Amino acid sequence: MNKLAILCVDDEQTMLNSLKTALKRILGEGYLIETIEDAQEALAVLDELWQDGYEIPIVISDYIMPNMKGDELLRRIHAILPKTLKIMLTGHATIEAMGYAINYANLYRYIAKPLDLNDFYLTIKEALNSYFQAKKLEQFYANLEIKIDHRTRELHEKNVELQREITERKQAEEKLQSNFQFLETLMDTMPIPLFYKNASGKFLGCNKTFSNFVGKTEEQVIGKTVKETCSKKYADLYYQADQEILRHHEKQTYETKIYHADGSERDIIISKAIFFQANDRIGGIVGSFIDITKLKQTETQLQQAKQAAETANRAKSAFIANMSHELRTPLNAILGYTQIFNQDSSLTTSQKEGIDIIHRNGEYLLTLINDILDISKIEANKLELVLIDFRLPVFIKGIVDLFHLRALKNEITFIYEPSSQLPDGIHADEKRLRQILLNLLSNAVKFTHQGSITFAVNYRKKTVLSSNLNSGKLYFQVKDSGLGIAEEDLDKIFLPFQQVGIQSQMIEGTGLGLPITKTLIDMMGGKIQVKSELGKGSTFEFEIEIQEISHVENDTTTPSSRIIGFKEKKEDGRKKGENYKILVADDKLQNRSLFIDLLKPLGFEIYEATNGIETLEKVHEYHPDAILMDCVMPKKDGLECIQKIRQNFQPKEMVIIAISANVFTYHQQACLEAGCQEFLPKPVELSKLLQLLATYLRLEWIYEEPISHISITPKNDTLFIGPSKTQAAELLELIMTGYIQGIIKYAQALELKDAKLQPFAKRVHQLAENFDDVKLEELVRTYL
């Protein structure tokens, strides 16, 4: 009950009003004060209050009342509520009446009329205090009885014979002793050192593990301080830590050192906390520690191993970068000269074919180098996107055409579902997007033996309000009716070197395609999703955010005619007859020779520099119109030279084109920031170099007049008896994928199948061995 009421009974209304006023003054609004003029009515009200959940600590009743006197009323109330305190008001009560009330109604006190308010106030306060104290005491005894009964039953189960011989206190003491013994046993069996001290810092006890660790018995420890039991080297530190925890009452966990019993110094992690006594006073400190010496040694070894691995990784990266640089340097000369010789009309067909062989093999080596760099970048999380503007329909058509042929070969249906809202030009990484789509579509073809493959492309456009640019999301879906993937294998397909499914279904591949695809899509801000059902096919879908380009310049192709010179544009403003001077700065003779052989016959005045210092000297001596600057040179590298030149010459006065075998993006950016206008990677595409010179020097090239139109396909190729359209389509598909060994094997199969196809097959074999995919494609397309 949380509602309290006091009952006042008197046949005089004036007295009742006085009582109510006095009680309100004492008790405030916390009590319901009920005033009743009749004893019988008082009993009824008392019952109602009790039913309504009221607790009635006090009943005040007049002695002389009609129908029923006060002592009888209090007796009846006592029979109902024996714990309620009864106070009698009287001015005429007899000794017998008072005795009756005391004996039968447990009268707490009587108060004479008229009221003495001070005495009344004191009486009421004492009565309430007595009532609630009695109630608390009653509850305490009730709880105590429950505890005693519970403990008695527990001890009865343990030792029935001793139950009648010990007191309740004895039971509690034995229980406490039992718990203490249990705690000691538990502490001694724990493998970590434990100890506890009093508030003065003296040890109260410890477990056997602690004793064994410090090399002292428990008797040698108890009663001593850390200064008396530990080495002086750390005793002050331990003592200060103990004082700190006693001041702040906070748990401590920290790393420190301690001497072991064998004399060795050990690293430990120690944890300490204070404990309290029954009176809430601090009893002392309890603590434990863990020996982490071996763990620290392991961490040190791991750190050393990590440093060694990082050193090895840096060495590997440096090796790959250096290897790329060293291979690109000779390839620059090889591919550069093949580009020059391919424009020489005086070469015989046999010589041109030889040049083509050198060029194709050089390009193949360059592809291998680029692949190695890509793998290295992926491993080091340094793969970078290269965003360019390109035409999306042309890009998609090339992919669709390729896989139409693949599907035809596998006798499955290839369906292309483009959106009508696809943009014409976009700004994205064309190379990586192609790599993603080729991986997904190749897997679809590879694992679909019948049915169809559907390639869907969609575009959701959104306008960027802060600029005039439009952006949106390109959505791609590749759906097949192939083998499918089991549900338990879906989480594995994006892990490196993983191929799921039964062994017989695992077709060729390294298991890197999907992991690389996922990495690239993540880099583009997209997310790949897959749905698959074993035996029914798979659906891969992803979307990437792109920027829409309103206009993309058409690709310019280098004219087939050889450049033999140049002429100045009228608006150039140069003095008539003044030569164009170009400085070739490169420490490698073969690179300088390449650019000299390319540019000098065109009419340029060429100067050479073999190191950075020589470069700066010749810049100030000759004031060249353009500098072809190798970025890695002795004495002063290219970056330093560019910065020095830009201190004296503005870009419009002197064009600097950086040329380097270091193709990493950070290096290209450094060259551009140093002050060069353009960056060309080695091996240099000479047509690109000539295009840049024409742009910056404002030149127009003069081309050699063609003698006659000569087909790039050898004349006798047209006389071959060729394959069927289906065979030609299959062969073209192999050519489009660049699978050289597959092309050779297919040509050999044709030769064995039909003797009439031997000349055609031998020509295909020859061109494949020479990596001449251009002539291969032109030859095969004539039979489609």
The residue type of 316 is K
Q: Which residue has the tokens 């709880």?
A: 143
Q: Is the pLDDT of residue 4 over 80?
A: yes
pLDDT of residue 249: 80
Per-residue confidence band for 182, with pLDDT thresholds at 50, 70 and 90: confident
What CA–CA distances, in Å, run from 674 to 17, 168, 584, 668, 679?
103, 94, 18, 10, 11
Specify the CATH superfamily of domain 388-549: Histidine kinase-like ATPase, C-terminal domain (3.30.565.10)
The arithmetic mean of pLDDT across residues 205-213, rounded, is 87
**CATH architecture of the domain covering 563-703:** 3-Layer(aba) Sandwich (3.40)
Question: For the packed helices 589-599 and 686-697, what is the interaxial angle rounded to 10 degrees?
Answer: 60
Q: What is the DSSP letter of 482?
A: S
Answer whether the bond into residue 114 is a cis peptide, omega within 30°: yes
Range 262-269, long-range pairs (CB < 8 A, 24+ positions): 262/215, 266/291, 266/293, 267/291, 267/292, 267/293, 267/296, 268/292, 268/293
Confidence tier at 465 by pLDDT (50, 70, 90): very low
Residue 712: per-residue pLDDT: 35
Quick one: which of 389, 411, 384, 414 has its CA closest to 399?
Answer: 414
- The terminus-to-terminus CA distance of the chain in angstroms comes to 101
**More confident of the two residues 510 and 552:** 552
Kindly report, residue by residue over 253-306, the tens digit of the pLDDT. Answer: 888 888 888 888 888 889 899 888 877 788 888 888 888 888 888 888 888 888
The pLDDT, as a whole number, for residue 113 is 81
Out of 34-38, 591-595, 649-653, which region has the weakest mean confidence (pLDDT)? 649-653
Residue 322 is classified by DSSP as H
Looking at per-residue pLDDT, the higher value among 417 and 420 belongs to: 417
- What are the pLDDT digits (tens) for 113-166? 888 888 889 988 988 898 889 888 888 888 888 888 888 787 777 777 766 677
The whole-number pLDDT of residue 378 equals 65
Whether residue 227 is predicted with pLDDT greater than 50 in this model: the reply is yes
Q: Can you say how many angstroms the Cα of residue 279 is from the centroid of all Cα atoms in its chain?
A: 51
pLDDT of residue 707: 43
- What is the average pLDDT across 52-66? 88
- In the prediction, which pLDDT does 458 show? 93
Closest by CA to 388, choosing from 421, 433, 418, 438, is 433
Residue 730 has pLDDT above 50, yes or no: yes
Condensed to tens digits (0 to 9), the pLDDT of residues 660-718 reads 888 777 788 888 888 899 999 888 888 889 989 988 988 888 887 654 333 334 444 44
Minimum mean pLDDT among 160-174, 175-189, 698-712: which range? Answer: 698-712
- Report the CATH superfamily, name and number, of domain 3-139: Response regulator (3.40.50.2300)
| pLDDT: which is higher, 179 or 453 | 453
**Contact in structure between 585 and 638 (CB atoms under 8 Å):** yes
Least confident of 76-80, 384-388, 733-737: 733-737
pLDDT tens, position by position, 589-640: 888 888 898 888 888 999 999 998 999 999 999 999 999 998 888 888 888 8
Q: Predicted confidence band at 463 (pLDDT cuts at 50, 70, 90)?
A: low
Cβ contact 649:674 at 8 Å = no
Average pLDDT, integer, range 480-487: 88
Note the pLDDT of residue 585: 92
Q: Which CATH entry fits the domain spanning 190-291: 2.20.25.90, 3.40.50.880, 2.60.120.560, 3.30.450.20?
A: 3.30.450.20
The answer, yes or no, to whether residue 417 has pLDDT greater than 50, is: yes
Query: pLDDT grade, residue 553 (50/70/90)?
Result: low
**Residues of 44-57 as b/e, b for ≥16 C-beta within 10 angstroms?**
ebbeebeeeebbbb
> What DSSP letter does each residue of 174-204 carry, written as one string?
HHHHHHHHHHHHHHHH-SS-EEEEETTS-EE
Candidates 182, 189, 195; CA nearest to 271 is 195
Residue 626, pLDDT score: 93
**CA separation for the pair 213, 410 (Å, rounded):** 76
CB 566 within 8 A of CB 702: yes
Q: What is the pLDDT of the chain when averaged over all its residues?
A: 81
- Which amino acid is residue 719, in one-letter code? L
Determine what percent of the chain is predicted with pLDDT higher than 70: 83
Which 3 state secondary structure label does DSSP give 386?
A: coil
The pLDDT assigned to 372 comes to 62
Q: What is the mean pLDDT of residues 40-53?
A: 90
**CA distance linking residue 561 with residue 558, whole number of Å:** 8
- Side-chain-side CA neighbours of 481 within 13 Å: the count stands at 11
